[in-house]
Structure 1
Amino acid sequence: MDKREAKIITTENGGQLLKVVSSDVEEFKSKGGSGTRLKGGPQDVVHDSKYLEREKHQYRNYFSEVIKQIPDFHRLVIFGPAQTGQKFFEEIKNNFKYLKPDKMEVKTADSMTDNQMIAWVRDYYR
């Protein structure tokens, strides 16, 4: 799972199924801003709060879409190269309390191909 997409791998009857959920979370780079009149003060004052708030709402929508695609589960492992997995974990704990898996954890992992992810999940649940 990362900021761009979540790949959901389910295991049933010895096989694995892969689903992809795309994200609408925007990448933004702060630009310019207004300068200050104070000598030695910051040259640019950028108002990030509106961007951060918009990003927070986009993450919440993304996580809701991912949760809709996850079948009823008892164990869940969230893995990926970025911090998105940890944010998703916190979202489940705080806002989706009805989801009570027996075991849920977050693992950091490098970028992988689809086949590598499927093998990783298969090995994880052995």
Structure 2
Amino acid sequence: MKQNIGIWIDTKQAVIIKLSNNKHAIRIIKSDIETRERVPGESKKFGRFGGQYMTFEKNKLNKRNEQTNKFIKSLLKEVQHCESVVLFGPSKMKNIFEKELSKNLQLTNKLVGVFNSKLLTENQMVAWVKDFYKK
């Protein structure tokens, strides 16, 4: 059974559209990536403890990277058993996911394209993916 997938990806969520036998299925995966967060205890940019200065930027970056990796891993599980994948969306997340696909030797050949797109409704996403695979 031939299965093609289109993924509209953003930092908030990924909409996975699976096409097989002229039917489509939609699955939405939330990312849980916090874009604006505040570390408890953070009051100023720098806090002074003895002769040291401490910043919370590194903690925020590590937490965001961890959340992004978790999101990417959940998307990689969805792509395992398909024949081809196309990525589209407005954010940089599609480029991050493209790099992860290229690192995985089993999934490298499945990626057929990465395209910029604006914010679309679910029906528009399904139509976009169907039009892409008809070509």
Equivalence map 1:83-94=2 (5 Å): 83-94=92-103
How far apart, CA to CA, are the structure 2 residues paired with 1:58 and 1:79? 21
Would you say the 8 A contact 2:47–2:55 is kept in 1?
A: no
2:115 to 93, 98, 107: 107
Equivalence map 1:1-126=2 (5 Å): 1-28=9-36, 32-34=44-46, 46-94=55-103, 96-126=104-134
Q: Greater shift after overlay, 68-77 or 6-15?
A: 68-77
Give the alignment's TM-score, normalised by structure 1. Answer: 0.80
Distance 1:33 1:62, change over 3 A: same
- Structure 1 unmatched ranges of 5 or more: 37-44
Runs ≥4 in structure 1, deviation > 3 angstroms? 29-32
Q: How far off is 1:47 after superposition?
A: 4.0
Corresponding residue pairs, total: 117
The CA RMSD measured in Å over matched residues stands at 2.1
Distance 1:29 1:102, change over 3 A: closer
How far apart, CA to CA, are the structure 2 residues paired with 1:56 and 1:118? 30
- Structure 2 unmatched ranges of 5 or more: 1-8, 49-53
| Higher RCO structure, 1 or 2 (CA under 8 Å, sep 6+) | 2
Q: How far off is 1:16 after superposition?
A: 1.3
Would you say the 8 A contact 1:9–1:16 is kept in 2?
A: yes
How far apart, CA to CA, are the structure 1 residues paired with 2:62 and 2:27? 28
Would you say the 8 A contact 1:73–1:101 is kept in 2?
A: no
How far apart, CA to CA, are the structure 2 residues paired with 1:27 and 1:89? 21
Structure ranking higher in strand proportion: 2
Distance 1:29 1:54, change over 3 A: closer
Give the alignment's TM-score, normalised by structure 2. Answer: 0.76
How far apart, CA to CA, are the structure 1 residues paired with 2:26 and 2:116? 19
How far apart, CA to CA, are the structure 1 residues paired with 2:71 and 2:11? 9
